[in-house]
C-alpha cells in the first residue's frame, strides 16, 4: 500500500497554511500527486481519485472567493474587466507561485516519473496541488477558513492590479504584429493523461526562431500558458520594454 505524507511533514505543512486539520489525511491526499501512487497499489483508485476530487472542489471554492473579492475591491468595473482580473488571479502561474511562496512545494510528494520531469518546478502540477489544498481546507474546516487563506495569499496581488491586465494571447499578438512578424502560431505537440483529465502541450511559434511550450488541462489553457511563457522569455531577453502580466 502506498504511504502518504508522514505526520511530521503534515504538521509542518499545516503550520505553513495556518490551518489545524481535524482530518489531516485530507491534507495528505492534497499534497500527494497521483504519480506517487503506483499502478500496482491496491488503493490506486482511491488515491488519485481523492486528489482529483479535492482539486475539482478547490477550483470552485477559489473561484467563488476571488470573484467575491473582486466585486468588493472594484465595485464600478464592468464584467469584462473583472473577468480579466479574475483570469490572472486563478491562472496556473498564479496558483503555482502561491504554493512556492508559502513554501509548500517541498512537501509535495511526487512519483519517480514526475520527479524526473522536474515536477517541483512544473507550474501545472503545483497549480493542481494548490486547488487540492484549498479543497481539503474547505472540506475539513469550512468556507470561512478557506476564505481566510485565500484572502491572505491573494490580497496583495489583487491590490497591485492597477488596471485590468491584458490577456497574454492578445498581448503577444500585439507585440508580434508590431514588429511585422505576423500572428503567433499555436500547435498541439502532445495530449496525455486520462480521458477525464487530459493534459495538452501546446507550442507557440513566432517567426522562424522563437518558440515556447505551455501545458494545460485544455487547449485554451495550454495556449494561454504558452503565450505567458513566451512573454516572460521575451522580457528576460530584453525584447519587451514592459510585460503586462496575464
Q: Which residue has the higher pLDDT, 18 or 36?
A: 18
Question: Between 3.30.1280.10, 1.10.600.10, 3.20.20.150, 1.10.1520.10, what CATH number should domain 7-159 receive?
Answer: 1.10.1520.10
Residues of the chain with pLDDT > 90: what percent?
Answer: 46
Residues of the chain with CATH 1.10.1520.10: 7-159
Nearest residue to 165 (alpha-carbon basis) of 231, 213, 119, 68: 231
CATH 3.30.160.20, the chain: domain bounds? 168-236
Rounded to 5, what percent of the chain is helix, strand, coil?
60, 10, 30
**What CATH number is given for 168-236 in this structure?**
3.30.160.20
Given the C-alpha cell 491562472, which residue does it identify?
91
pLDDT of residue 165: 76
**75 vs 162: which has the higher pLDDT:** 75
* pLDDT reported for residue 229: 86
**Which of 55, 114, 131, 167 does the annotation list as catalytic?**
131
Alpha carbons within 13 angstroms on the beta-carbon side of residue 126 total 24
Residues in the chain: 246
Confidence of residue 150 (pLDDT cuts 50, 70, 90): very high
User: Looking at residues 153-173, what average pLDDT do you find?
Assistant: 86
Strand pairing category for 199-206 and 185-192: antiparallel
Confidence of residue 245 (pLDDT cuts 50, 70, 90): very low
Q: Is there a catalytic annotation at residue 20?
A: no
pLDDT tops 70 at residue 170: yes
In a 10 Å sphere around its CB, with 0-12 CB exposed, 13-18 middle and 19+ buried, how is residue 81 labelled?
middle
Least confident span in 49-58, 86-95, 237-246 = 237-246
How far is it, in rounded angstroms, from Cα 224 to Cα 183?
15
The pLDDT tens digits of the residues spanning 46-85 come to: 555 889 899 999 999 999 999 999 999 999 999 988 988 9
Catalytic, 131? Answer yes
For all residues of the chain together, what is the average pLDDT?
A: 85
**pLDDT tier for residue 119 given thresholds of 50, 70 and 90:** low
The active-site residue, picked from 59, 128, 153, 201, is 59
Query: In terms of DSSP H, where are the helices of 31-120?
Result: 46-73, 79-89, 92-102, 112-116
Percent of the chain at pLDDT exceeding 70: 87
Amino acid at each position: 500500500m502506498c504511504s502518504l505524507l508522514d505526520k511530521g511533514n503534515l504538521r509542518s505543512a499545516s503550520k505553513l497554511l495556518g490551518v489545524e486539520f481535524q482530518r489531516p489525511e485530507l491534507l495528505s491526499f492534497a499534497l500527494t500527486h497521483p504519480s506517487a501512487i503506483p499502478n500496482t497499489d491496491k488503493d490506486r483508485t482511491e488515491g488519485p481519485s481523492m486528489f482529483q476530487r479535492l482539486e475539482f472542489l478547490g477550483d470552485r471554492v477559489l473561484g467563488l472567493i476571488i470573484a467575491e473579492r473582486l466585486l468588493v475591491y472594484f465595485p464600478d468595473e464592468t464584467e469584462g474587466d473583472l473577468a480579466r482580473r479574475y483570469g490572472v488571479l486563478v491562472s496556473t502561474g498564479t496558483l503555482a507561485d502561491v504554493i512556492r511562496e508559502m513554501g509548500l512545494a517541498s512537501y509535495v510528494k511526487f512519483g519517480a516519473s514526475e520527479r524526473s520531469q522536474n515536477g517541483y518546478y512544473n507550474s501545472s502540477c503545483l497549480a493542481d496541488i494548490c486547488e487540492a489544498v484549498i479543497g481539503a481546507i474547505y472540506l475539513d474546516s469550512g468556507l470561512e477558513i478557506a476564505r481566510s487563506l485565500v484572502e491572505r495569499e491573494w490580497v496583495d496581488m489583487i491590490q497591485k492590479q492597477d488596471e485590468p491586465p491584458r490577456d497574454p494571447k492578445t498581448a503577444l499578438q500585439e507585440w508580434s504584429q508590431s514588429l511585422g512578424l505576423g500572428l503567433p502560431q499555436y500547435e498541439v505537440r502532445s495530449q496525455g493523461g486520462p480521458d477525464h483529465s487530459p493534459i495538452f502541450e501546446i507550442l507557440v511559434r513566432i517567426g522562424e526562431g522563437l518558440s515556447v511550450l505551455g501545458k494545460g488541462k485544455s487547449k485554451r489553457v495550454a495556449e494561454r500558458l504558452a503565450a505567458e511563457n513566451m512573454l516572460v522569455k521575451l522580457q528576460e531577453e530584453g525584447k519587451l520594454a514592459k510585460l503586462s502580466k496575464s
